[in-house]
A and B are shown apart, each in its own frame.
Chain A
Amino acid sequence: MKQRQGGVAQATQPIKSLIQRFAYVGMVMAAIAILMFGKADTLLIEKARIYVTDAVAPVLNLLSRPAATVSNWVKQGNELLALREENARLREANARLLQWQIVARKLEAENTELRHLSEFQPQGTQSYISARVIADAGGTFAHSLVLSAGRKAGVRKGQAVIAGEGLVGRVHGVGPNSSRVLLITDLNSRIPVMIEDTRVRAILAGNNSTRASLIHLPPGATASPGDRVITSGHGGAFPWGLPVGVVAAVSDDRIEVQPFVDRERLEYVRAVDFGLKGIVTLPSADKAGSAQKPK
């Protein structure tokens, strides 16, 4: 029996290895073909992506909980070590914030009064969908997050995603139970913004690093480190005034913006439905996962 087995195995070995070699070459060619096809037609690929992500979303959701627990321990350990300084810093911050609160209250009252006087029409109602971050995907390839809420929860493509500090990104793909967020630092992200103080408009473009850069500034306009950057509301995709980041470095050819949101700390985010349709509903905006690039 043993001998026969060996004999058969020996006889079929060359054929088997030939088949395996063919399979290997076929697989490499198929992979290259998919890579090129994905560059040409992103719609089908995006559909496959949404489908696969949605299928594994429950597993990711489950797996991300222990990961969050472990990171919580690490965080708590760090916090214990730095308790004293943290306390002093918070007390100082609290004093400063209390002052701001007074200012904000005053401004709010003034604002209401002025709106009343000028019969200001407020923008449409906003609704929020909170979701857990279940995957921080891509690493060096792309900057995207996967959220635990999808179409069933009311998440729609094009919605702004915010965390406490500011703008995180834009919903880019939605499945029934999960959605993918394109971060503002992703290579494909283009967001109309403006500098808060000077009202200079620009486009915030990601480049897969930790910072994004300002492009398409009007001729002669400039920015200086420390300037706050907010969304400008142009193009109708995002509402006006969401905090985005702060200008961190200015060189001859590049204005770098440090986002307010710390990607590593994101656990829960909110997708915001501002009731704006904007450019993202155009069919051309479905391509490349980005808002239309302004020419």
Chain B
Amino acid sequence: MVVKQQTTIQRIDLLARNITPFLLALVLIMVSQLPMHIPELGRASPMLALIAVYHWTVFRPELLPSPAVFVIGLFLDLLSGGPVGINAVVLLLVYGVVLSQRRFLFGKSFAVVWIGFGVVGLSATLVTFIVVSLYHLMPVSPQGFLFQYLLTLGLFPLVSWMLLKWQRLVLR
């Protein structure tokens, strides 16, 4: 109501642009579930949703409110076939932690952001491993988790760079 000078079309345009981080996260989840047919990669699918949530929480948290993170996590859980709710919990925890530590990460060099992701990702992987083991009432094989983490860590610069490009081109 306050911003009178914006026309309706401008507002719709802005809304459409601002919803893209959320939609991109959903697309990344679908991409992470595609069969890649690369035997060397093993069966670990990279945690692209984690990268997306981390990236937007560091750079544009106002575009990713907690309900959006919740939906992203739930979507990943439903699609991946794992225990439903696990990624919703983990991604929300990541969101909360990163948001509270944002001043250490925002505006810093890329290396700092990457190291931050390394720490957050490792914690998230550990929490996931523990919760999944508790859920199934037996320890699941840890190698998969470790490999998944390393794969995600390696992919982080690429995905984060693409999201940054998007940020500059679309979000302004």
Which residues of A are in contact with B by a Cβ distance under 8 Å?
1, 4-5, 8, 20, 23-24, 27-28, 30-39, 45, 48-49, 52-53, 56, 59-60, 63-64, 67-68, 71, 74-75, 133-146, 180, 187, 207-210, 262-267
Contacts and interface: CB of A to CB of B under 8 A. Distances in A.
A145 to B, nearest CB: 8
A139 to B, nearest CB: 4
Contacts of A23: 65-67
A211 B25 CA distance: 32
A184 to B, nearest CB: 13
Given A59-B30, A64-B35, A266-B35, A135 B132 contact: no
B34 A187 contact: no
Interface string B81-125: 111111011001101100000000000000000000000000000
Residue in A48, A138, A210 whose Cβ sees the most chain B Cβ within 10 Å: A138
A207 to B, nearest CB: 7
Contacts of A141: 80-83, 86, 132
B70 A53 contact: no
B66 A24 contact: yes
A265 B40 CA distance: 11
A4 B1 CA distance: 12
Given A135-B35, A135-B79, A144-B81, 11 more contacts: A1-B4, A5-B3, A33-B85, A52-B78, A59-B30, A67-B34, A71-B37, A140-B145, A142-B82, A209-B144, A264-B35
B81 A180 contact: yes
Interface stretch (B13-21, B133-141, B157-165): B133-141
Nearest to A208: B140
Contacts of A37: 85
B89 A31 contact: yes
Nearest to A74: B38
Given A60-B30, A136-B36, A35 B80 contact: no
Nearest to B99: A24
B51 interface: no
Contact of B37 (A59, A187, A265): A265
A143 B35 CA distance: 12
A56 B79 contact: yes
A31 B144 contact: no
The 3 A-B residue pairs whose C-beta atoms are closest, nearest first, are: A141-B82, A35-B85, A31-B88
A210 B147 CA distance: 13
Nearest to A7: B2
